[in-house]
Amino acid sequence: EAAVTQSPRNKVTVTGGNVTLSCRQTNSHNYMYWYRQDTGHGLRLIHYSYGAGNLQIGDVPDGYKATRTTQEDFFLLLELASPSQTSLYFCASSGGAQDTQYFGPGTRLLVL
């Protein structure tokens, strides 16, 4: 069974704060993704990566940075958090094109 873990599971910060969300997968997958889920929008892709050191821009990248340090680890950075970034964030991994994506448990972020 594919394994994707995220930390923290819940996070509260203030406007202008600095937040790092972490994701680790033990599936030996090359592809990793960061999504946000908001009511009325479904899941929207923020950034994704093909492998260590690679970064691709998703559909809603503004205000987010990401870094893929190893095959296993993918980080999402909010350097100046805003209330509009309050959301449920999911990380996922997959083996590549046409492959199933495996999702982590999610991180709920509240920006006050």
Residues of this chain that interact with another protein (CB under 8 A) are: 31, 33, 40-45, 48, 50, 56, 58-59, 90, 92, 94, 96-106
What's the min distance (Å) between Cβ of 105 and another protein?
Answer: 5
Residue with Cβ nearer another protein (36 or 81):
36
What's the min distance (Å) between Cβ of 106 and another protein?
Answer: 6
Distance of alpha carbon 40 from alpha carbon 34, whole angstroms: 18
Residue with Cβ nearer another protein (17 or 58):
58
Residue with Cβ nearer another protein (14 or 50):
50
Amino acid at the residue 97: A
What's the min distance (Å) between Cβ of 14 and another protein?
Answer: 26
Sign of CA dihedral 62, 32, 44, 21: negative
Distance of alpha carbon 112 from alpha carbon 109, whole angstroms: 10
Q: How far is CA 55 from CA 33, 39, 84, 101, in A?
A: 10, 27, 23, 17
